[in-house]
Amino acid sequence: MLQRNPTDVLDELLACKPKTPFERDRANYCSAVSAAIAKSPEWGVAWVKTLVDRNLNDQDLWCSACQGWRNANFTAEQWKLVLDVAEKIAAPEEFFSAFAEVLEHGSRRETYTLPDEFMEQAQRIAIRIWNLALKTSPVEGDSYKDWLSTAINRPGGKLAKFWLQRVSSARKAAGDTWRSLPTSISNEISEMLRGTSGAAAHARILFASQLHYFFSLDASFARNELLPLFNWQSDELRAEQCWHGFLFWGRWLPGFTESLLPQFTETVIRKAQLEKRTREHLIYHIAGIALFRVENPLLNNWLPNQVQKLDDDERIQLAAAIDRSLDEIDVSIAENIWERWLAKYWKRRALNTPKPLLPKEATEMVCWALSVGRHFPDAVRLIPSLGKEIDFEHAGLFWRIDEKKGLARKYPEATADLILICLEFPLEYFFADEHTANVWRDLSQSGVTPEKLTKIREAMFKHGYDPGQP
């Protein structure tokens, strides 16, 4: 095809009238055109100029060019050639909507990337795309409440992702002189944020998901333009969409936590409006805020009030999320968290405050003990306070102990007590492996009393394993 004139290919495509499903149809030709343009972006330029000359506005013909350019490995010269066309060409709206993906993909890819030297021109094209195709695009339905997935696959979301790259490019160019978003960028993003079109909604979701990024670059812009989007009282649908984006991709920063927390609490109250995956991310955020963003989440009953709103599965998820975070952070941070509030929270949950403690939730809490460093013995002593609510199911605890290298050697008595507690409960199965052997070896070599070692060995033997045998 690349050996042929685009005019001839277009004539053949337009004359295509297959009589059977096995003959070439128009879609086949368009796919071939896209493939050809991906190989030769210059051929794509000739293709769109032919469409202009023929006064053809068919969506599939124009989008074929954008799909090809999206997949092309551009040189700098080819980027310039295609950008010059997009900046000046008179084309239907569908072309500009599709070209948003050319900018988005080209600015984010690791190789054959849109060069920074052309970013200002790309910005002008992005503004053109917004004004000609997206500013008044129709509003879509609820997309099954999966707002972020919908947004990233729509032109408005793709254009927003390009703007994020544009901001990054401007930040890099400014270096130490950076103070805030350039007005030429902030004005355009603000217009998209305040828009009422379907594309504006998709762009808002993407921008809201990056609240932390904007705040780190320009706190004033983030406070004035982004934070109000999360207010449920101002616009319920807009808030739901923006929270959806933030719950999946957003991160909390000290500078806006206090301002955003009331609206987050409102989001927990309204969690029934969110689809299942989003509610799961909501739980991760509750854990993250409690652990890392609030000095004392028990103050004014903030965390207990959130727990009060959670159903059984969500309370288990919260306990598991806290366990994962404690397991991943530096032990000194975990020790500080235990001292500030986590020990008190444990005691409240043991008293079924503010809701009954669940067996699986209690099991997750037991695992917190493995990550609190020097407070490990204290945490083990609190385990009996959970009563008979623990549900170990299996002996995976040995793997967790072994993964905490040196835990059994440093705290042999507390480790032995924890293992005895575990083995007292009915186990669905007990699979002894190298982790079990390693923990037994560490305990045997670390001065645990013979009486306690005998109890552990007898308890394991009841499950068909004798740790004393090689």
Quote the CA–CA distance of 23 and 59 in Å, as a whole number.
22
Which among 418, 445, 413, 282 has a CA at the least distance from the CA of 363? 418
Quote the CA–CA distance of 51 and 359 in Å, as a whole number.
67
Contact predicate 436/395, CB 8 Å: yes
88 residue type, one letter: K
Quote the CA–CA distance of 390 and 381 in Å, as a whole number.
14
157 residue type, one letter: G
pLDDT recorded at residue 209: 98
Beta strand segments in 222-376, E: none
pLDDT recorded at residue 143: 59
Which ranges constitute the DSSP H helices of 198-253? Answer: 198-209, 211-217, 219-221, 236-249
pLDDT recorded at residue 142: 66
As given in the structure block, the two tokens for residue 398 are 């040995």
Residues in the chain: 470
pLDDT recorded at residue 394: 66
3-state secondary structure of 360: helix
Which among 332, 339, 326 has a CA at the least distance from the CA of 288? 326
Q: What is the CA radius of gyration of the chain?
A: 30
pLDDT recorded at residue 144: 60
Which among 123, 148, 121, 151 has a CA at the least distance from the CA of 137? 151
Quote the CA–CA distance of 426 and 439 in Å, as a whole number.
20
pLDDT recorded at residue 429: 82
Number of neighbouring beta carbons within 10 Å of residue 260:
23
141 residue type, one letter: G
pTM passes above 0.75: yes
pLDDT recorded at residue 147: 95
Beta bridge partners of 427: 393
As given in the structure block, the two tokens for residue 457 are 């060995």
Half-sphere exposure of 415 (CA within 13 A, CB side): 33
Quote the CA–CA distance of 210 and 151 in Å, as a whole number.
14
Return the residue matching tokens 């409240």.
Answer: 348
Quote the CA–CA distance of 52 and 214 in Å, as a whole number.
40
pLDDT recorded at residue 469: 78
Per-residue pLDDT of the chain (470 residues; tens, 9 = 90+): 899 999 999 999 999 887 777 677 899 999 999 999 999 999 999 999 999 999 999 999 999 999 999 999 999 999 999 999 999 999 999 999 999 999 999 999 999 999 999 999 999 999 999 999 999 999 987 656 799 999 999 999 999 999 999 999 999 999 999 999 999 999 999 999 999 999 999 999 999 999 999 999 999 999 999 999 999 999 999 999 999 999 999 999 999 999 999 999 999 999 999 999 999 999 999 999 999 999 999 999 999 999 999 999 999 999 999 999 999 999 999 999 999 999 999 999 999 999 999 999 999 999 999 999 999 999 999 999 998 778 777 668 999 999 999 999 999 999 999 999 998 888 878 888 999 999 999 999 998 999 999 999 999 998 889 997 76
Phi/psi zone of residue 425: left (φ > 0), alpha (ψ -120 to 50 degrees), beta? beta
Contact predicate 441/448, CB 8 Å: no
Q: H/E element holding 428?
A: strand 427-429
Quote the CA–CA distance of 20 and 323 in Å, as a whole number.
61
Beta strand segments in 233-333, E: none
